[in-house]
Amino acid sequence: MPPESGSWSRDVDEVILTLDVDWAPDFIIDDVAQRLVSRDVRATWFVTHESPAIDRLRRHPELFELGIHPNFSQGSTHGATPEAVLQSCLSLVPNAVSMRTHMLIQSSPLLMDVLGSTPIRVDVSMFLPHLPGLQPFPFWMKRRALWRVPFFWEDDLEMERPEPVWDLQPLLDIGPGLKVFDFHPMHVYLNRVDMFAYQKLKASLKRLTEMTPEDAAGLRREGEGPGLLFEEVASFLSAHCLGGRVVRELVPQASSSDGL
């Protein structure tokens, strides 16, 4: 049985690092992963596709949880129906217990499908930007619970704010509560504060996964942005939180699986 409301493990006033892979090329996944490995920082990666770089993430089970990032939109390469999409994604990460949906697509019927036909027990698809006091909570369906972990910051959506925050301290000062960050490897690597360069680059490629370092030449920037904030979050977790925790560890019943 899932825990009753309020029974998650440890204090939830903490920082959690997550990443949506979003079909990033291997050299970028490797670059971002190495920044975490070098600091012994833990993170949950929501996987969209199979690749050698994803396999390299599996070599660090002490640091990385792999979840799924199903794309339920029309024309998805993951499948034409919710059932097909879920099975396709679980073939990539068979023991996954956590997910975040691509484009945050969600509905009660969809969550019921997840509960009824998959091992997923933790969903991180609820975005509540810059909101204090967040904590995991159970979403009950037919006497079963899918634990929902809200997240409060996402790099591409931060770009849409009239006054985006690219510094860690103001985000920590928002107030008590769980602070789940969502980064995309592409945005970490490029460190852009708007989507224009990324969208132009994406439009120029047949497949984003085939992007090369030469394709990104001249597009990376220094200074404030998602890449610099990622570095701040990683350094904070390394220095103050023993590397942090992964999503599945927020819910004791989910942490029994290796999530890899």
pLDDT one-digit tens code per residue, 93-114: 999 999 999 999 999 999 999 9
pLDDT higher than threshold 80 for residue 123: yes
- Superfamily for 15-250? Glycoside hydrolase/deacetylase (3.20.20.370)
According to DSSP, the residues that pair with 198 across neighbouring strands are: none
pLDDT: which is higher, 187 or 142: 187
**Cα of 25 vs its chain's centroid, Å:** 16
- pLDDT for residue 12 is more than 80: no
223 alpha-carbon distance from chain centroid:
23
Q: Which whole number is the average pLDDT over 11-35?
A: 93
Higher pLDDT, 67 or 142: 67
Angle at 115 between CA 110 and CA 121, to 5 degrees: 115
Q: What is the mean pLDDT of the chain?
A: 92
Instruction: Name which of 62, 22, 65, 23 is nearest 43 in CA terms.
Output: 65
Residue 10 has pLDDT above 70, yes or no: no
- CB count in 10 Å sphere of residue 177: 17
Q: How confident is the model at residue 255 (pLDDT cuts 50, 70, 90)?
A: low
pLDDT value, residue 143: 84
The H or E element containing residue 17 is strand 15-20
- Both tokens of 194, joined, read 């708007």
Mean pLDDT of 64-73: 97
Q: Residue count of the chain, please give it.
A: 260
List phi, psi (to 5°) of 5. -55, 130
Half-sphere exposure of 109 (CA within 13 A, CB side): 4
Please compute the mean of the pLDDT values over residues 169-187 and round it to a whole number: 96
pLDDT score of 256 more than 80: no
Q: Is the pLDDT of residue 173 over 80?
A: yes
